[in-house]
Amino acid sequence: MLREEKGRTIGVFRDLLLGSHFQPIFSLAHRRIVGFEALLRATDNAGRPRGPLEVFGCVTDRDDTVLLDRLCRTTHMRNFSRYETGESWLFLNINPQVIVSGVSDGFLQRELARLQFPPHRIVIEILEAALQNDAPLAEAVAYYRDLGCLIAIDDFGAGHSNFDRICRLRPDIVKLDRSIVMQAALDKRIGAIMPGMVSLLHESGSLVVMEGIETEREAMVAMDADADLVQGYFFARPAPDALLSERPVFADLFDQFQNITASERGSYRSEIAPYINGIGYTSVLLQSNRPLEVACRGFLELPRAERCFLLDGNGSQIDNNFNAPHAQVASDPRFAPLKNARGANWSRRHYFRRAIARPERVQVTRPYLSAANAMPCVTVSIAFKVNGELRILCGDILWNQRFSTMDQIPEFR
């Protein structure tokens, strides 16, 4: 079922000819290819192309599905082994039905030994959403990991994926589905979530690949989210050959990202400066023993200011919130149970912890959901002493998309 043609391996299954293409996977930090995903390229006897879903869709017998899957992987491995690819990985997809059928007969191990190809250069891609039962999936992950291969969960975020399963399976690599990358490029609110999602995957012990990147905007999403690896037409299309070619696009990409970041930081500094100055001046008035309601009036007159509140050294709120006349909480009765915050303890919040760690300096949080009105906001805060007692003054600002880079901004004096 395998034959050699012009230095390439061709798989033969029924009336189909099975070939290999390889799409490079790049490390953003290293600015070079670190792996290749093997992709099936099939044609029928008339030379008409047949997609992978069509090829596997015409097979209903379980044994034939296993045979076809192994034939594809063997074709890919033999073709890939012909190229000088250094230590780069080979990403191999496994049909979900093959995982369900079991993996204990040693097929992959025997083929790797025959090719003298080290298992640690193989990345097994598993479609996590395709399996309803965790047992065969966990068994497959354990088998391939014991063999020495890396494990990648493919198409994460495409519907059924969840972090709970990621934590249980502990994949080495998670590939984010193209659909979520596209949405992040089109919707800034989704784009703002991406760094947090990537950070959670990093904390779970996985490298992150953003796949299907086709535009510069999508590449910027990957850069901003701190993705480790990228894959897509913007960087390189699949090709019959697995070659370690350099991509000059990275120099322009990093320059563009730095320019965008610098522009956003400049815009952010300009827009946030009145709120920083306002909360700082309010703290000066409080140190002069002005009542909070009087001291914070200037801050609350700023267009996006929502509220001011004061905490003691333990994080407990001393008085109730003082809301701006235009504040969202003032006109929305649905959040009435959260209106009275007197005595609430906010010591867990970043605005409290950062303020007491750097007294007399205004701190700015990243966007988060305010408990006062369930609206996205950022908080400016400053710690100081009044009559020898520590106080932390906080001011909430209604968040908008122009506040998307505040995690890059240091504390302000």
State the SS3 of 118-180. Answer: CHHHEEEEEEHHHCCCHHHHHHHHHHHHHHCCEEEEEEECCCCCCHHHHHHHCCCEEEECHHH
Residue 257, pLDDT score: 75
Quote the CA–CA distance of 21 and 163 in Å, as a whole number.
31
Which three-class secondary structure state does DSSP give residue 322? Answer: strand
DSSP 350: H
Residue 408, pLDDT score: 40
Residues of the chain with pLDDT under 70: 100-104, 128-134, 159-161, 246-248, 263-267, 328-332, 400-413
Backbone angles phi, psi at 359, to 5 degrees: -60, 150
pTM of the model: 0.78
Q: Which among 219, 224, 177, 216 is positioned nearest to 199, based on CA atoms? A: 224
Residue ranges and CATH numbers for the domains of the chain are 2-247 (3.20.20.450), 270-408 (3.30.450.20)
b vs e for 130-141, b when ≥16 Cβ sit within 10 Å of the residue's Cβ? bbeeeebbeebb
Cβ atoms of 394 and 311 closer than 8 Å: yes
Placement of tokens 């303020």 in the chain: 355
Quote the CA–CA distance of 160 and 119 in Å, as a whole number.
29
Give the distance from CA 374 to its chain's centroid. Answer: 24
Residue 413, pLDDT score: 34
Residue 157, pLDDT score: 79
Residue 264, pLDDT score: 66
